[in-house]
């Protein structure tokens, strides 16, 4: 129980700090709004804390989240790979997760390649556009 009544109780945050799962980036967020961080991390850890997902499944999903092109959080990827191996995931399973996660980045090519083709064709047909910048 939190003795300082000016600060909210943060059992999830405290447990993550104790377990070595704390991201130091969260320190500044916690300074600004510890209650929000507690709720956020409570939501993120709900499936494992409540036993909804098996530990191996949770760790494989956590690897995908931390390795995704929108997150790229290497310390989390490392921590979740280690934990996944500890709870029985194989190297092949983890590699498959990383390979599937890499597909997220393909949208950059799916968006950019057709635009490149269109603009190259326009340039070839019409020449450079003057005064666009």
pLDDT in tens, the chain (133 residues): 455 567 889 999 999 999 888 989 899 999 999 999 999 999 999 998 899 999 999 999 999 999 999 999 999 999 999 999 999 999 999 999 999 999 988 888 888 899 999 999 999 999 888 876 6
Domain 11-105 part of CATH 1.20.1290.10:
yes
Percent of the chain surpassing pLDDT 90: 72
Residue 3 has what pLDDT?
58
What is the enclosing helix (H) or strand (E) of 112? Answer: helix 106-126
Q: Which of 61, 69, 66 is nearest to 93 (CA)?
A: 61
Q: For the chain, give every domain's residue range.
A: 11-105
- Among 52, 10, 84, residue whose Cα is nearest residue 76: 84
Q: Which residue has the tokens 């909210």?
A: 8
């Amino acid at each position: 129980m939190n003795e300082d009544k000016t600060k909210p109780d943060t059992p999830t945050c405290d447990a993550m700090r104790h377990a070595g799962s704390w991201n130091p980036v969260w320190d500044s967020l916690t300074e600004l709004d510890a209650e929000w961080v507690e709720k956020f991390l409570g939501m993120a850890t709900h499936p494992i804390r409540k036993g909804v997902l098996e530990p191996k499944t949770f760790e494989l999903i956590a690897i995908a989240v931390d390795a995704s092109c929108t997150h790229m959080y290497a310390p989390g990827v490392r921590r979740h790979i280690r934990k996944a191996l500890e709870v029985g995931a194989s190297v092949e399973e983890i590699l498959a997760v990383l390979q599937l996660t890499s597909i997220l980045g393909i949208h950059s090519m799916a968006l950019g390649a057709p635009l490149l083709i269109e603009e190259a064709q326009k340039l070839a047909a019409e020449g450079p556009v003057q005064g666009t910048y």
